[in-house]
Amino acid sequence: MSDPLLRARGLARSYHGGVRDLAALRDVSLEVAAGDWVAVTGPSGCGKSTLLHLLGGLDRPDRGEVWLAGQRMDTRSESGRALIRRRHVGFVFQFLNLVPTMTVAGNVELPLVLQGVGRRDARRRALEVLDELDLVGAADAAPAELSGGQQQRVALARAVVHRPDILLADEPTGALDSAAAETVLDLLRRRHQDGQSIVLVTHDHRVAAAADRVVTMLDGQIVDERDLTGSAGRPGFGNLIDLEG
C-alpha cells in the first residue's frame, strides 16, 4: 500500500487564553490519500480550522507530525513550509481570500509567478482557469467589484491554477448564499473528479455530504469518521445526512 498524500499523527495545539491555555487540538491523527475528498465538520470552536492550518503548514503543532507528499512539515521553518505550500497546496478561506490591491487575474497568477512561471504563461493559465469558472470577463477587475460568490470562485481558481497535490478549503461556502454555495461545490466536485485531493472544513452537513469521507470533531478531537463512498445514493447538495448517529 502506497504512503498517503497527507498524514497527520498525534497533533496537539493550544492557544494562550488568559488564565490557562486553551487546547484547540488534542491528539488528532488523520490520513488523506491521493484523490481523497475529506470533509472535516463539527461545531464552531471544535478545532477544524486549526487542524486545516496545521495540515497546510500555516501553523506548527505543539506536538505531533504532519507529512505532505513525503515531506515532514512540522519540523520545517516558516519559510520551509512556505516553499512546500507553494508547490503542493492550494488554500481557500471563507472570505477575504483575495489580495484587494491586485486584479482578479493578478490574484490567480500568484502561485504560478511564485513558482517562476513566465508572466505570459502565468496569464494564459490563469485565464484558462478563470474561463473554466466563467470569470474570464472579470480578469482585470478589482476583487471589490465582484460579488461574494464570484470572489470565492476566483479564490478557488487561484487555489488550483498550479495544480497542487491537495486543496485545503476552510468554510469555502460559509459566507455564500445557497446558489453561490452550490456553484462552488460543483466546482470542487469537478476538480475532485479530475483527481484533485481535497480537505474541506465545514460546519454544514450538506456540504460535508459531498465528500468521500467525513471526519467529525468535537472539543479538539476527532469523534467520528465515516466513509461515504460506499453509501447508496451518494447524497447531493441539499440532502441531509445524519452524522451524529
Partner 1 sequence: MSAVLRLVRSGLRGGNLAGAFATVLVSALATAGMVAGLSVQGQGGAEVDRIYREAGRPDLVVYGTPEVLEDVRQDPAFAATTPVTPYLAGVVALGRDTVDARITALAGGTAALGRPLLRTGGWPSAGEVVFDQAAATAAGIRAGDRVRLTVGGRPALLTVAGTAVDLTDCFYPDCDPIRLFVDPATLATLAPPPAATPTAEVTPTPTATPTPGAGPARSPEAGPTTAARQTAVLVARLVEPDRADAVAARIGTRSGVQAVQPWPDTRDDILIRDRIFGASLAGFGVFVLLAAAFVVAGTAAARLLARRREIALLQSVGYTARQVTTGLVAETLLLGAAGILAGWVAGILVAPFLQLGLAGALGRAGPRIDPPSLLGSALLVGTVLAAATVAPAWRAARQPVSDVLRDAAPRGAEPARVTRILDRLRLGPTYRYGLGAVLTRPERSALTAAALSVAVAAVVVGGGFTATVDRLVAEPARTGDPYDAVVVADGTDPATLTAALAGTPGAAGWYSQLDRRTTLGDQTFLSRAIGGDPADARFLVQQGRPLRAPGEAIAGYGLLRRFDLQVGDTVEVRAGGTPLRLTIVGWYSETEDTGELLMYRAEMLPGVAPEAYLVSAGPTASPETLAAALRDRLGPGVTVHARASDPDDLGTFTMAMRLLAALVLLVSLANLAAALLTVARERARTLGVLRAVGFTVRQTLAQSATGGAALGLAAALVGLPAGLLLLRLLTDRVLVGIGAGPGLAELPPAALLAGTVPAAALAGALAGVLAAGRLARTPAADLVRYE
* Shortest Cβ 120–partner 1 spacing (Å): 10
Residue closer to partner 1 (CB basis): 95 or 237: 95
| Residue 12 binds partner 1, judged by CB under 8 A | no
To partner 1, the closest distance from the beta carbon of 228 in angstroms equals 28
193 binds partner 1 (CB under 8 A): no
58 near partner 1 (CB under 8 A) = yes
Contacts of partner 1 in 141-170 (CB under 8 A): 141-142, 144, 158
Contact 7, 38 (CB under 8 A): no
CB nearer to partner 1: pick between 82 and 241: 82
Using the minimum distance from each CB to partner 1, give the nearer residue, 37 or 93: 93
Number of residues that bind partner 1 (CB under 8 A): 41
Instruction: Report if residue 94 touches partner 1, rule: CB under 8 A.
Output: yes
Of 150, 168, 151, the residue nearest 159 (C-alpha): 168
> How far is residue 99 from each of residues 94, 102, 130, 219, measured CA to CA in Å?
14, 6, 16, 33
123, 109 in Cβ contact below 8 A?
yes
Find the largest Cα–Cα distance for the chain.
54
**Cell 497533533, located at residue:** 11
* CB count in 10 Å sphere of residue 119: 10
Query: The C-alpha cell of 215 is what?
Result: 471526519
User: Quick check: helix, strand or coil at residue 238?
Assistant: coil
Region binding partner 1 by CB under 8 A among candidate stretches 31-39, 91-99, 124-132, 187-195? 91-99
Q: Which of 3, 21, 134, 140 binds partner 1 (CB under 8 A)?
A: 140
Question: Binding pattern to partner 1, positions 16-55, x when CB under 8 A?
Answer: ---------------------------------xx--xx-
| Under 8 Å between Cβ of 3 and 58 | no
According to DSSP, residue 130 is labeled H
Is residue 91 close enough to count as binding partner 1 by CB under 8 A?
A: yes
Contacts of 57 (CB under 8 A, 6+ apart): 66, 68, 73, 76, 81, 82, 84, 85, 89
Of 101 and 193, which has the nearer Cβ to partner 1?
A: 101
Q: Which stretch binds partner 1 (CB under 8 A): 33-41, 83-91, 198-206, 209-217?
A: 83-91
Q: What is the edge-to-edge ordering of all strands in the sheet holding 89-92?
A: 89-92, 166-170, 197-202, 37-41, 213-218, 221-227
Which residues in this chain contact partner 1 in the complex, by CB under 8 A? 49-50, 53-54, 56, 58-60, 78-79, 82-83, 85-87, 89, 91, 93-103, 105-106, 110-111, 113-115, 119, 140-142, 144, 158
